[in-house]
Amino acid sequence: MAAALGVPLFCALVYVVWLPHGNAGRSAWFATKAWVLIYPLFFFGLIGLGGLVRREKRENCSERWPSWRAVILTGFLSGLGIAMVGWLMVLTPVGDIVKANSDNLVEKVRGLGFATKGRFLMVAAFITLLHSAMEEYYWRWFVYGHLRKMVGYWPGHLLCAVAFTGHHLVLMSVLFPLPLALFLSFLVGLGGLIWSFMYQRQGTVVGCWISHLIVDAFLMIVGYNLIWPGG
């Protein structure tokens, strides 16, 4: 778990702070995604596939999981709700501060080589559809699923949320003033808590992924409009 919690933060420091430009930064970014995908594979024998391709086994066999319809609806509504809150924030002074610092986002995107519209849209599609699934697979199924067995449910929720927030805080800190970076990272942590609670309640990452997908789609739209105002 130490490696699972720490490596994404370390890689974020590499590609965001220490080597933010050129092949080194891109390599660190891709290495992070490879780690998220591959590292949990070494533990399938211990964890099993419950929560991924099927429901987990309940400790109390008399309790039933929510229906798949409820899982999908909860994922959709929670993602839409979070995105609506984000949209309302865009209309507040927070949105003005974000816009005022959009040059930092443009520089970061250019440094990673994603500054053309075509490349940005490809990366945005990857983040929205696949990366959101990878993060739920890693942070909720693997990290939280393991932590709750080691330290209990509540400490597991909190530790997973803090670690999930860590690499996002690194990115926020170079894009925005520190108070805003801390506030936005706090919101990321709340999102992580919501999704780990959903996973615990539903026994599957499907609902978490749908919710995460919608939120990431909203963020990619915001990012696009910041980089190319007016389209």
DSSP 8-state symbol, 43: G
pLDDT at 97 over 80: yes
Rounded alpha-carbon distances, angstroms, from residue 96 to 14, 99, 172: 29, 5, 16
Pick the residue with more confidence: 198 or 15?
Answer: 198
Q: What is the pTM of this model?
A: 0.93
CA nearest neighbour of 185 among 209, 205, 161: 161
Task: Please provide the average confidence, as pLDDT, over all residues in the chain.
Answer: 91
Q: How many CB atoms lie within 10 A of CB 120?
A: 17
Give the pLDDT mean for 160-181: 95
pLDDT at 39: 96
Which sign does the torsion angle of CA 110, 114, 120, 124 carry?
negative
Residue 211 · residue 82 · CB < 8 Å: yes
Rg of the chain in Å (alpha carbons): 18
Q: CA nearest 168: which of 4, 35, 11?
A: 11
Q: Determine the pLDDT at residue 61.
A: 64
Q: What's the confidence (pLDDT) of residue 170?
A: 95
Q: What is the pLDDT of residue 74?
A: 98
Confidence of residue 169 (pLDDT cuts 50, 70, 90): very high
**Mean pLDDT throughout 120-135?**
95
**Residues 44-84: tens digit of each pLDDT:** 877 777 888 788 876 666 678 999 999 999 999 999 999 99
Helix, strand or coil for residue 50?
strand
